[in-house]
Structure 1
Amino acid sequence: MDIFNQKESNVRSYSNNFPVVFSTAKGCWLHTEEGERYLDFLAGAGSLNYGHNNAIFKQALLDYIDADGITHGLDMHSQAKAQFLNAFNNHILAPRELDYKVQFTGPTGTNAVEAAMKLARKVTKRTNIVTFTNGFHGCTAGALAATGNQHHRGGQGAPLNGTMRLPYEGYAGIDSLALFETMLSDNSSGLDKPAAVLLEVVQGEGGLNAASETWLQRLEKLCRQHDILMIVDDIQAGCGRTGTFFSFEPAGIKPDIVTLSKSLSGYGLPMAVVLLKPELDQWQPGEHNGTFRGNNHAFVTATQAIENYWANDEFEQHIHARSEQVNKAIQRTLRRYPSLFVRSKGRGMMQGIECQSGDLASAISKACFDKGMVIETAGPDDQVVKFFCPLTISESELEQGLHIFEQAVDSVAEKLTQKAS
């Protein structure tokens, strides 16, 4: 551990909570150099929806590398890119009647968000973008301006401009859309007509707040009425995490722009895209570019992910079954310890349990780690224990992880009782 403490920046965070050296991983398991193994209920913060070293993806990637396939190609045409675009169109866009152009940005989610915001401003010739409380969109300047978390915003060291924040659904009991509509119609509200609204359908880092279908439909209607673009940040909630490939599908809405990253490559390889309606594709060549917007290795594994998991509805059925399994464990815990917990959060395989405090959630996370499971917290006070295992996890492996969680809760509750007495 000495080399990390001596040479790695203090900005690291996950390793502070999980202080071991991992060496190998497979499926939903992480292995340390000491031979210990941990169930992974973090899954690369949503980048490993198909598990570690998925055998199908790995073999396709090894074959591609062995054949000297293009690795880096800027934005030039490649066979791997063509195969990805065909698979994405045939199995994801067309069946959902979504007509989007695909923009390959730099390989991070925050770069996709930056491009989406930039494009909205370019097309509408307006600068203001409406975002929502507890939203998280990245840590580069533009995306950070749209992010609510003060801890991350504080790291900027400069003013964050160009956005206006509204309460997310359920925030402090405020009907934010009624407020938004009133402000849009009032010339003295002080609201500059926005280029776009930017939101997560399920807020990941913000505490697994899930917008209702009705609220999303109302928001889309408002945007259409006032010629405002709707951007859905599906970087964490997309690629099946909420049960459907896109988080917004159950609401029946069709955003103008969608950002994807994290599990898009399927293998943990960096890859990000912006999906935009064809009429919005008003970029000039190279106007938003980046050296690493052509990760062909990621194209190879992303194609395999789509063709092997999204060509029919079997994977969605699996996600639904595992989601029910998680929810049952959360409901059991709520019934057993009503004084320790507030409510369940999220949907699909993006669920969590809200604790009475961040300290309690942290204690449960630590107890889980001590028992052989990696699980993180989320929310403005880190008060939500966040179940984020690979979507490919088996019923028995998931049950093992949920059992560890319930044991951890029991041990923390017992310590609290002893301390109180």
Structure 2
Amino acid sequence: MNQDMKIFEKSESEVRSYVRSFPTIFTKTKGYKMWDKAGNEYIDFFSGAGALNYGHNNDHMKQKLIDYITNDGITHSLDMASAAKAEFLEKFQEIILKPRDLDYKIMFPGPTGTNTVESALKLARKVTGRTDVISFTNGFHGMTIGSLSVTGNAMKRKGAGIPLQNVVTMPYDNYVDDQSSVDYLERFLEDSGSGVDIPAAIILETVQGEGGINAASFEWIKKIENVCKRWGILLIVDDVQAGVGRTGTFFSFEPADIKPDIVCMSKSISGYGLPFAITLIRPEIDQFAPGEHNGTFRGNNHAFVTATAALDYWTDDKLENSVKQKSQTIMTFLHKMVENYPELQGEVRGRGFMVGIASDVDGLANKIAAKAFENGLIMETSGPNDEVFKLFPPLTIDDEGLTKGLAIIEQSIKDVIKQPVTN
């Protein structure tokens, strides 16, 4: 082990994970690049697990934050009124919600993705007076007890240490090839002998990130919304990872032409990687009493500043069009990899800049991700068995960076498959 890394082994909890996958000390980042203490340069196809959609140290946001701090702008304010919060609320309404004909109240539930999911689940149960929630196979929604209860991963669920209750798991789109999962869901709701009560909510990701880059069809998503409307069930879309342009549009559900009752957002909503989350709530169901859900760090004004600056990218369709164009390049590349390297036993998955290759060869995806790190590119794996290596470049990456990154991935595939794969 590198001598510098021993402090982490000695002093940091065994729960650490990414430091094991990327065993080096990073010292500097810019755009799509990262540098470590030894001066090695890496192309970042990880983007903070989707928290850095605009890249590292984005100049526009950085200057706004520097100016705010230099002028002694308020940092911490709980949920008191601040100029930074007011500007974010106004700009989010004008740039994001109104052009999309979306009417939501904005709640600040706490700084992370699991906070917004917890608030959504609590509100759905309060509004409907019902207890159960329907989630989907391979879904991932967070690591606190409520959000963990609607998460599918067995290892993460086991970490709770207690039974995770009041949730029914249904098959996600294409989980079972020979039947419609929506028909299956409706049969359970209709059958008084199914053991499934009418739930308070259905929660879903339009593209499952940690669950294996499974992309639901727009038709399936629309059918789920129709089920919710027929049965008076609230629809919660978890857009923590798939949102803020990651799949090609600001909200991942836009192409499906739906309007969820509640939308959960975090990760790249702050724009700069600062802790920040919002819960979007249809006004009629905004029924929390004052202070009924609160938290010390729901007034992160530095994040308000950078989140507001990030919205400048959405005043026109330039970024959105760039993502759609580059995503075609990425998808073409991935299909070429599956075709040219049959040893992968691969399947292309995902949408937009949230894509990857699932390999039926045990351990192969992990080996390719590890080799990519050796070759100067950072990417991670996902899926219940880490069977998918996934590509999460920043949305702002230029053509040169994208081309270099894809070339490193192909070289890493070559490096790995020429060797026998062992368990």
TM-score normalised to structure 1 length: 0.98
Query: Shift of residue 189 of structure 1?
Result: 1.4
Within the candidate set 251, 260, 275, 1:255 is matched to: 260
Within the candidate set 227, 242, 245, 1:240 is matched to: 245
Equivalent AA in structure 2 for residue 15 of structure 1 = V
Within the candidate set 378, 396, 399, 2:400 is matched to: 396
In the alignment, structure 1 residue 7 sits paired with structure 2 residue 11: yes
In the alignment, structure 1 residue 145 sits paired with structure 2 residue 163: no
2:100 is aligned to 96
The whole-number CA distance in structure 1 between the counterparts of 2:248 and 2:389 is 19
In the alignment, structure 1 residue 298 sits paired with structure 2 residue 303: yes
SS in 2 for 1:235: coil
Q: C-alpha offsets along residues 248-306 of structure 1, whole Å, 9 cap, x if unaligned?
A: 00010000000000000000000001000000000100000000000000000000000
The whole-number CA distance in structure 2 between the counterparts of 1:21 and 1:216 is 42
2:175 is aligned to 171
Query: Shift of residue 172 of structure 1?
Result: 2.3
1:219 is aligned to 224
The whole-number CA distance in structure 1 between the counterparts of 2:376 and 2:13 is 27
Equivalent AA in structure 1 for residue 336 of structure 2 = R
**Structure 1 residues 12 and 358, CA gap change in structure 2 (3 angstroms):** farther
In the alignment, structure 1 residue 288 sits paired with structure 2 residue 293: yes
The whole-number CA distance in structure 2 between the counterparts of 1:175 and 1:144 is 26
SS in 1 for 2:323: helix
1:42·1:387 contact (CA, 8 Å) conserved in 2?
Answer: yes
| Matches for 1:30-179 after TM superposition, within 5 Å | 30-173=34-177, 174-179=179-184
2:379 is aligned to 375
The whole-number CA distance in structure 1 between the counterparts of 2:390 and 2:242 is 13
The whole-number CA distance in structure 2 between the counterparts of 1:359 and 1:189 is 38
2:343·2:417 contact (CA, 8 Å) conserved in 1?
Answer: no
The whole-number CA distance in structure 2 between the counterparts of 1:263 and 1:289 is 22
The whole-number CA distance in structure 1 between the counterparts of 2:43 and 2:80 is 40
SS in 1 for 2:134: strand
1:116·1:257 contact (CA, 8 Å) conserved in 2?
Answer: yes
| Matches for 1:322-361 after TM superposition, within 5 Å | 322-361=326-365
The whole-number CA distance in structure 2 between the counterparts of 1:161 and 1:407 is 46
The whole-number CA distance in structure 2 between the counterparts of 1:229 and 1:273 is 18
Of stretches 160-169 and 358-367 in structure 1, the one that deviates more from structure 2 is 358-367
Equivalent AA in structure 1 for residue 251 of structure 2 = F
The whole-number CA distance in structure 1 between the counterparts of 2:405 and 2:321 is 20
1:197 is aligned to 202
1:366 is aligned to 370
1:208·1:352 contact (CA, 8 Å) conserved in 2?
Answer: yes
The whole-number CA distance in structure 2 between the counterparts of 1:364 and 1:73 is 45
1:358·1:384 contact (CA, 8 Å) conserved in 2?
Answer: no
The whole-number CA distance in structure 1 between the counterparts of 2:69 and 2:142 is 31
Uncovered stretches (5+) of structure 1, i.e. residues with no partner? none
> Runs ≥4 in structure 1, deviation > 2 angstroms?
none
CA RMSD of aligned residues (A): 1.0
TM-score normalised to structure 2 length: 0.97
Query: Shift of residue 358 of structure 1?
Result: 4.3
1:333·1:406 contact (CA, 8 Å) conserved in 2?
Answer: yes
